[in-house]
Amino acid sequence: MSRIATRFAALQRDSRKGLVPYLTAGDPDPSATVAVMHALVEAGADVLELGVPFSDPMADGPVIQAACERALGRGVRLTDVLEMVAQFRRDDSETPVVLMGYLNPIEALGAETFVARAAEAGVDGVLIVDMPPEEGGEMAERLRAVDLDLIFLVSPTTAEARLRRVGETASGFVYYVALKGVTGAASLDAGAVAGELTRIRQYVQLPLGVGFGIRDATSARQVAGTADAVVVGSALVERLQAAGADAPAAAKAFITELRAAIDGARAA
């Protein structure tokens, strides 16, 4: 069982909802990424989503696009991201880490090499935004062979046939995109999210994380009522950039707030 599956099993056993913060590797500074990762865990994060900088992050809004540009400008590449994970693993052998990114850097490194090096570094799952489930069978097999999970995005417009394919191919958890737009877009409708999660669960038996629109404690608490995990990205990346050298402290403060809100939803 992967670290991701183990973590979600523990959350379910304890009747808790997961918290999955996203940060772009290398932003606001490459030397701070691992410290921010540890700060997020200290604040109550259950799974870390580490973005691999890419020049054309088509699913990401302006906040994460800018973070990718800054990280690339500082020379951060996929191999550097893997080294960051390896460094994180020296002090944390339990918290699952998911790499989120695009297919091009993986293809440039070579899929077989990437999977081997990801497993060696301590990565637990991979979310490749521009690889649909219809084309993910080979990657899923490669990852499964080294006990890594392949995570897919689904959205309000995902058809039933694709949901079935996701249910057959994905592992770890499935990421529900709550908005018809890019990351950091407008406010979400918690009622509509609940209805969509009911639809998706007809085809997908894995835990469902909800993101794209989680901006604060209020939205996190609303989504936690029906999701298995809350994913927060742009709102955190904004705070990290604004904090600069104080990024770890800013990360800890924000995620502590969201953790309290999510746990409050459970208590309510």
Active site residues: 49, 60
Token pair listed for 258: 């969201």
The neighbour count for residue 159, using CB atoms within 10 Å, is 9
Give residue 147's region: left, alpha or beta (phi > 0; psi -120 to 50): left
Contact 192, 155 (CB under 8 A): no
- Distance between CA atoms of 22 and 20, rounded to whole angstroms? 7
In order of 4, 15, 34, 84, 167, the CA distances from 9 in angstroms are 9, 10, 26, 26, 18
The neighbour count for residue 89, using CB atoms within 10 Å, is 17
Q: How many Å is the Cα radius of gyration of the chain?
A: 17
- Which residues touch 122 (CB under 8 Å, ≥6 apart)? 85, 86, 88, 89, 93, 97
Cis peptide before 21 (omega within 30 of 0): no
Task: Give the HSE-up count for residue 140: Cα atoms under 13 Å, Cβ half-sphere.
Answer: 18
- Distance between CA atoms of 207 and 218, rounded to whole angstroms? 22
